[in-house]
Structure 1
């Protein structure tokens, strides 16, 4: 049965809503991190929605973020509302295809879906598979980081180059600290380097798009051909690539996200990372399934995830950038964790132009085929 959001935010029965034409263009401004953590605003969910969500008793969350980070993050939601979450993690595109297939055959499992490709969400919305819900707290999300009623950014991630400090020499460590992207073509990394396929998900696709799409004149296929000559190990998902780099199986990896590297750092892994310019960044966003088995829990979770409290919860586990201006990482001003390290520097120039690039929204995603040909996939 189809559901909708009424004025109280509580889901009830309804026929399928009229599909609205959605604009594909999107622009994102550079994030400026503030100096201090403000008091968290009391935004939010109505008592009626909370009660309805608690009566449903559970939530199923399909997500692309590392499982340990996500378990910690959603545990805060469970502690606050008493609603346990079933977290199902997978690479972005395969997980999305799984959800689409389930929905199309009437097997409704996921309540909330997290992904790094807004184009796919908007296509599913046109198909009638996305719930129309605007959480009150989402008023604080930057206007360019949401599509009202459809998807909302939960965090922003910069991507650079990471290395295992135990697997490089002092000379290599010094070189990496000052590296631009050309370091990925240095012959010294032959057999010591790993990368991820752009077919794995939106973050990998947006990363590769900079080289083969938006900044093709600066990089282009010749640059990637030099990388491919080093015979890097190619991963279908970035999570195991990061794990094995942190464990010492690879000296360096690309597509190294701030959130994942921060998590390894906090666990004591010998990881370091750098952000050459321009630095690809991606939005990690959430949407609610139109046929969510637990629609009220889904709406409550979306409300919490977009609130200052939900956004700030990520700072305990990762180095993400918030989608809210009023929610910033307090460790930066305090000079704590990786901010105290002499090797660390914030990205100077985020590459987000792809979000307003018409070629980026091409559903055929031709750069995947081009990348596969270069890397012999």
Structure 2
């Protein structure tokens, strides 16, 4: 597995270099070439996937997820090598547009939380419909577009330093406790539209004056959930209303004194995937994408309870129906309004 991880790291560097060189050489646009999807049904697609033998995924998955997924998929389909290049959601959007403009197809699947991107790509005809049995079984209400599928939900937990806090947190109102004045971590709203949705949801569920009351605590702001978790671990902040279960659990595994709890209700971001219409390995992409949505694939994604599965497989951190899912419902005007309210409340 160490060799596999190193191969993915090398691939990320090589892919970036190849893209830069190709863009310089092409100097123009044009439709990127695509492979051919087998006709004759799902069995024909699976057979053709083995012939293709590989695929490339651009993903915002964590290293632990990637390790679990590549191992489990390798056992299920040893004739298909999957490479997963780790890119943030915004990096993926930029990279994929550059590749399409240059007429260069590298990735087969995109996996990220850029909700508007999936909608725009669907409208442009740039996403391929999934054909497999598991994809067809994905709950219709959880589809973002016809071609994209929900891969998992990532709830936002409360967290605190168990050496500095004796009374556990149970809900967002606990963030207002006097002991957290000057020692409270929050998400910086500049982190993205989903955080605007989070703060809008907080005001609707905790009261219209909740942000003003939070501001009286003189909180510290963090853009990345990993930074927020590290602040709690070091007691830079005693508690935080912003976090990522995978990031915090990784620190806990290293001995960090962090306690975590999902409030009820809990707000959750969502992560989607889709097959690209110009996928160089369309059959292998179909097989892998379908496997991701199968029970085995979802168990590999969920791991030890870092995320919630749309299929509610064993090990998920919560039932999907118990979460408030953010799926890109806010438009630009909504995000601007909520951001202004946030800045006013916190004097920023």
The aligned counterpart of 2:101 is 105
Structure with more of its chain in helix, by fraction: 2
Give the counterpart of 1:362 among 309, 331, 335: 331
Contact 2:155 2:269 in 1 (8 A): yes
Shift of the 282–348 alpha-carbon distance from structure 1 to 2, 3 Å rule, reads same
After superposition, give the CA deviation of every residue in 1:94-143 in whole Å (9 maximum; x if it has no partner): 33542454255335444322223534311221133323333321233222
The aligned counterpart of 1:272 is 259
Q: d(CA) in 2 for partners of 1:156 and 1:48?
A: 32
Shift of the 86–223 alpha-carbon distance from structure 1 to 2, 3 Å rule, reads same
Q: d(CA) in 2 for partners of 1:191 and 1:373?
A: 19
Give the counterpart of 2:130 among 133, 140, 159: 133
After superposition, give the CA deviation of every residue in 1:204-226 in whole Å (9 maximum; x if it has no partner): 344223125xx27x433x32233
Q: Which structure 2 residues correspond to residues 1-377 of structure 1 after superposition, within 5 A?
A: 1=32, 3=34, 5-7=37-39, 46-54=45-53, 57-63=54-60, 65-80=61-76, 81=78, 82-90=80-88, 92=89, 94-99=90-95, 101-103=97-99, 105-106=101-102, 108-147=105-144, 149-166=146-163, 168-170=164-166, 174-176=167-169, 179-201=170-192, 203-212=194-203, 215=204, 218-220=206-208, 222-246=209-233, 248-265=235-252, 268-325=255-312, 327-329=313-315, 350-352=323-325, 360-364=329-333, 365-366=335-336, 367-375=338-346
Shift of the 134–243 alpha-carbon distance from structure 1 to 2, 3 Å rule, reads farther
TM-score (norm 1): 0.68
Q: d(CA) in 2 for partners of 1:317 and 1:87?
A: 22
Task: Give 1:8 deviation, angstroms.
Answer: 5.3
Task: Give 1:152 deviation, angstroms.
Answer: 1.1
Q: d(CA) in 2 for partners of 1:2 and 1:255?
A: 42
Shift of the 240–154 alpha-carbon distance from structure 1 to 2, 3 Å rule, reads same
SS of aligned partner of 2:279? coil
Q: d(CA) in 2 for partners of 1:351 and 1:96?
A: 26
Q: d(CA) in 2 for partners of 1:87 and 1:223?
A: 40
Shift of the 276–329 alpha-carbon distance from structure 1 to 2, 3 Å rule, reads closer
Root-mean-square deviation (CA, aligned residues, Å) is 3.6
- Unaligned residue ranges in structure 2 (runs of 5+): 1-31
TM-score (norm 2): 0.73
Q: d(CA) in 2 for partners of 1:229 and 1:320?
A: 32
Task: Give 1:312 deviation, angstroms.
Answer: 1.1
The aligned counterpart of 1:338 is none
Contact 2:33 2:280 in 1 (8 A): no
Task: Give 1:156 deviation, angstroms.
Answer: 2.4
Contact 1:152 1:285 in 2 (8 A): yes
Q: d(CA) in 2 for partners of 1:147 and 1:372?
A: 30
Displaced runs of 4+ in structure 1, greater than 6 A? Answer: 345-348
Q: d(CA) in 1 for partners of 2:108 and 2:188?
A: 28
After superposition, give the CA deviation of every residue in 1:148-188 in whole Å (9 maximum; x if it has no partner): 7511112223323111213x232xxx242xx3312223343
- Unaligned residue ranges in structure 1 (runs of 5+): 11-43, 333-344
